[in-house]
C-alpha cells in the first residue's frame, strides 16, 4: 500500500489520505513505514498475544467501525487478502462507504488454500466498488463472478511500484548490507521464507527437513532464512535448521534489505504471495512451497514453479535450479522487470486517477 499512499500524498489539492494502521506485527511494520516515510494518522493497536482469527476479526471490525464514524471518508482503500482487509471492507459496507480493493481478483478456487486468505479476499470482493486487478487474469476472474465491468480495471500491482522504488537504491547499499549479511555475497545463494498458516505443522517441518538435506548436499551454497516472528514458525525452523554452518537463520529483514537479498539470490524458496510477484523481476528461480496459488501468471510465464511441501520434491527442484543457475549469468534486473506480468511500476498512479474519476465529485 505504501506506493499508493505516497501517490495520494502528492495530490494534496484533490486527495486527503488518512492512514490507519491496525498495529499488527509492529516491529516489521515500523521498518517498512520508516523506509517509505509514512506515519499512520491512526494506530489501532489490535495485536494481542495468542489472538485467534475470530478475536482479531471482531476487534478489527469494531475498531475500524469507530474510525469510519469519526472520519467519514469518501472511500476506504484496502489491499490484499488479510483479515484486516475483510473486516475493514465489511465495516465500510455497513456505513455505505465505497470500498477500493487493491490487488483484487486473485483466486485459487479453494477456500482452504490459502487459508484464510482466499475467504478474506472473496468477502472483500463482494462489497467492493473499485476492483483494482493486477492482471487481466484477475480481472477475468472478477467478471466471471458477475462484477460489473465498469467496476473492474487492470491497474497492475503496487508491489512492483514498491520494488522499482527500492531496488536501484539498494544496489548502491551493497557494501554496508554485505557486512550485515556476508553469506549473501557467496557465489550460490538460496533465500527462504515461510509463514503460511496452511503450512504450519507437517508442511513446514517437511520443508525444513528438505532445506537441511539441501544444505548438506550443497556445502558451497549459503541458505539464508529470515524467520517470521510467529511462534508456529520460529519453533520448528530453529529446531530443525539450527546448527548447520551454511544455513543462516536471521531475524525478519526489513523491506529494502529483503529486496537486496532477493537481488543477490539465485533461488528463492517461498510460500509468500508478494515474493512470487517480486522475485521474478530480479531474475531469481522462484519455487513456491504451496500446492495452489492465486498468482498463476508467474507460473504460466515460466517464472515460478509450485513445489508444495513434499521433502523430496523440494530437494529435487532446488537442486535442479541451482544447477541451472550455475550454467548462466543472471540477466539484468531492468530487462526482467519490464516483462513482469504483475505490473510496470505505474499501478499507484492509475488507482489514484480512478479514485478521483469516481469519487471526487
Instruction: Name the DSSP letter for residue 246.
Output: T
pLDDT at 131: 98
Closest CA to 20 of 75, 64, 85: 64
pLDDT at 329: 52
Reported in sequence order, the residue ranges of the chain that DSSP labels E, i.e. its strands, are 20-21, 42-43, 76-79, 99-102, 130-133, 152-154, 189-192, 222-226, 247-250, 267-270, 285-288, 304-306
Contact (Cβ atoms closer than 8 angstroms) between residue 135 and residue 325: no
Mark whether 197 is an active-site residue: yes
Mark whether 81 is an active-site residue: yes
CA distances to 67, 73, 158, 160, 320 from 277, rounded to whole Å, are: 32, 31, 10, 8, 21
- Choosing from 117, 257, 263, 294, the catalytic residue is 117
CATH code linked to domain 174-338: 3.40.50.2000
- Choosing from 11, 137, 197, 218, the catalytic residue is 197
Cα–Cα distance measured from residue 320 to residue 323, given in angstroms and rounded to the nearest whole number? 5
- Choosing from 153, 195, 311, 313, the catalytic residue is 195
Mark whether 278 is an active-site residue: no
- Choosing from 7, 103, 118, 266, the catalytic residue is 103
Mean pLDDT by 10 residues, the chain (361 residues): 97 97 85 91 91 94 98 97 96 98 95 92 97 96 98 96 88 91 96 82 90 97 93 89 95 92 95 87 90 88 92 97 74 50 93 96 76
Q: What angle do CA 1, 309, 278 make, to 5 degrees?
A: 25
Where are the chain's structural domains?
2-156+346-359, 174-338
- Choosing from 228, 290, 317, 350, the catalytic residue is 228
Which CATH number is 2-156+346-359's, of 3.40.1190.20, 2.130.10.10, 3.40.50.2000, 3.90.550.10?
3.40.50.2000
Helices 202-217, 231-241: axis angle to 10 degrees equals 30
Mark whether 96 is an active-site residue: no
* One fold for 2-156+346-359 and 174-338: yes
Cα–Cα distance measured from residue 18 to residue 16, given in angstroms and rounded to the nearest whole number? 7
Report the SS3 class of residue 189.
strand
- Choosing from 7, 81, 206, 271, the catalytic residue is 81
pLDDT at 26: 83
Which residues neighbour 93 within 8 Å (Cβ) at sequence distance 6 or greater? 99, 127
Mark whether 95 is an active-site residue: no
Amino acid at each position: 500500500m505504501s506506493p499508493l499512499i505516497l501517490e495520494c500524498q502528492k495530490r494534496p489539492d484533490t486527495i486527503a489520505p488518512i492512514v490507519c494502521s491496525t498495529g499488527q506485527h509492529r516491529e516489521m511494520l515500523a521498518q517498512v513505514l520508516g523506509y517509505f516515510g509514512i506515519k499512520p494518522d491512526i494506530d489501532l493497536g489490535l495485536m494481542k498475544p495468542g489472538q485467534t482469527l475470530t478475536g482479531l476479526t471482531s476487534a478489527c471490525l469494531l475498531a475500524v467501525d469507530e474510525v469510519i464514524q469519526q472520519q467519514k471518508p469518501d472511500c476506504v482503500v484496502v489491499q490484499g487478502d488479510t483479515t484486516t482487509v475483510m473486516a475493514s471492507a465489511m465495516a465500510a459496507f455497513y456505513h455505505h462507504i465505497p470500498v477500493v480493493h487493491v490487488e483484487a481478483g486473485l483466486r485459487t478456487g479453494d477456500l482452504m488454500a490459502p487459508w484464510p486468505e482466499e475467504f478474506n479476499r472473496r468477502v472483500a470482493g463482494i462489497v467492493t466498488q473499485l476492483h483494482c486487478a493486477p492482471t487481466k487474469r484477475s480481472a477475468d476472474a472478477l467478471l466471471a463472478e458477475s462484477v460489473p465491468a465498469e467496476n473492474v480495471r487492470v491497474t497492475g500491482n503496487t508491489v512492483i511500484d514498491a520494488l522499482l522504488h527500492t531496488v536501484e537504491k539498494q544496489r548502491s547499499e551493497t557494501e554496508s548490507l554485505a557486512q550485515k549479511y556476508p553469506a549473501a555475497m557467496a557465489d550460490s545463494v538460496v533465500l527462504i521464507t515461510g509463514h503460511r498458516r496452511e503450512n504450519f505443522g507437517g508442511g513446514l517441518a517437511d520443508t525444513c527437513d528438505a532445506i537441511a538435506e539441501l544444505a548438506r548436499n550443497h556445502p558451497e551454497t549459503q541458505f539464508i532464512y529470515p524467520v517470521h516472528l510467529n511462534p508456529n514458525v520460529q519453533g520448528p525452523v530453529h529446531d530443525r535448521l539450527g546448527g548447520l554452518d551454511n544455513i543462516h537463520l536471521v531475524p525478519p529483514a526489513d523491506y529494502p534489505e529483503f529486496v537486496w537479498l532477493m537481488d543477490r539470490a539465485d533461488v528463492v524458496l517461498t510460500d509468500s504471495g508478494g515474493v512470487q510477484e517480486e522475485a521474478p523481476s530480479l531474475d531469481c528461480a522462484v519455487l513456491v512451497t504451496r500446492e495452489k496459488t492465486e498468482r498463476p501468471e508467474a507460473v504460466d510465464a515460466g517464472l515460478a514453479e509450485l513445489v508444495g511441501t513434499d521433502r523430496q520434491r523440494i530437494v529435487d527442484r532446488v537442486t535442479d535450479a541451482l544447477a541451472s543457475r550455475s550454467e548462466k549469468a543472471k540477466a539484468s534486473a531492468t530487462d526482467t522487470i519490464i516483462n513482469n506480468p504483475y505490473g510496470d511500476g505505474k499501478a499507484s498512479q492509475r488507482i489514484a486517477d480512478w479514485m478521483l474519476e469516481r469519487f471526487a465529485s
